[in-house]
Amino acid sequence: MKNIKIIFVLIIIFFTNCEKVVDIDVPSIEPKLIIDASFEVLFNQSPVVANTTVKLSLSADYFDEEIPAVTNAVVTLTNLSDNTIIPFVDANADGNFNPIASFIPADDTEYELTIIYNNEVYKGKASKVKSTPFTSVEQGDETLFSGEETELKITFKDAPIIENYYLFNFDKNFYTSIDDRFFNGVEYNFSFFYQEDEIELPTTVNIKMSGITKDYYTYFQVLSSQSGQGGGGPFQSIPSSLLGNIINTTNDANFPLGYFHISETDTYSIRLVEKE
């Protein structure tokens, strides 16, 4: 019995001494400028208001916990119909640039976003994409696998004839994008489910529905599949190989990450409660 105990102790000592710390060498890449310029025109409000913030940051290495904000850039927006230039400022020095005066993007007008950073010029163009309002939003009774999910039932009427693409933004930074290939021109409804650990009831959640272009739809599909959702939104950690519609006109090899887009957006707030 003593021999067995001695052998057991020796085995523990042997494997303990064999432990080795392995350092994973993750290559560091040159930071890229991240441009989140997704403008929202809240058309179903009176008066109409718009979120026209340009968020600038730098990409970080995989294990970095903080995303560095860019505050020392020059940001302007040009109305290409009349060449009016709107300056943007970062009043709080947090990387969020806003127009110096209230601004609502006009219909059928192309805008050019210009960003000057580190003596390099970045440019992107966009026009406002039309959308449609919610018909209804209500809490449903259906669940999925655990039986503890919370259902949101969304209904809206799709505009006929043209191809339409939509981006839905649910509280807690959850997103989904859809196209109208199977419901062009008719009323459509679908369900979104919060998992039990994603929401604490009762609570009020806010939902946004935005019209988007086909290119932005494709971009967002790839972005969502590669970077995941939650924890700060889809632009928090963009894959370095995913290019948007903004180019570096000074040095095309130093391309930026992110997108410039203008959407008509409807919003809806709903109180969610525990179901009996």
Residue 260 pLDDT exceeds 90: yes
Residue 73 counted as domain residue: yes
Q: Is the pLDDT of residue 25 over 70?
A: no
Q: Give the span between the Cα atoms of 160 and 162, in whole angstroms.
A: 6
Could you tell me if residue 169 is inside a domain? no
Please report the pLDDT score of residue 65 as a whole number. 62
Segment 185-196, tens digit of pLDDT: 999 999 999 998
- CA–CA separation, 75 vs 36, rounded Å? 12
For residue 49, give its domain range.
33-131+234-272
SS3 state of residue 245: coil
Distances (CA, A) of 160 to 41, 96, 164: 21, 37, 9
In this structure, is residue 264 part of a structural domain?
yes
Summarised one tens digit per residue, pLDDT across range 179-223 is 999 999 999 999 999 998 899 999 999 999 999 999 999 999 988
Q: Which residues contact 217 (CB under 8 A, 6 or more apart)?
A: 165, 167, 177, 179
78 falls within a domain = yes
Q: Is residue 20 part of a domain?
A: no
CA distances from 62 to 79, 174, 209, 254, 258 (A): 38, 22, 31, 19, 18
Q: Is residue 39 part of a domain?
A: yes
Q: How many domains does the chain have?
A: 1
Residue 80 placed within a domain: yes
C-alpha to C-alpha distance for 54 and 59, rounded to whole angstroms: 16
| Residue 194 maps to a domain | no
Nearest to 55 by CA among 39, 44, 77, 66: 39
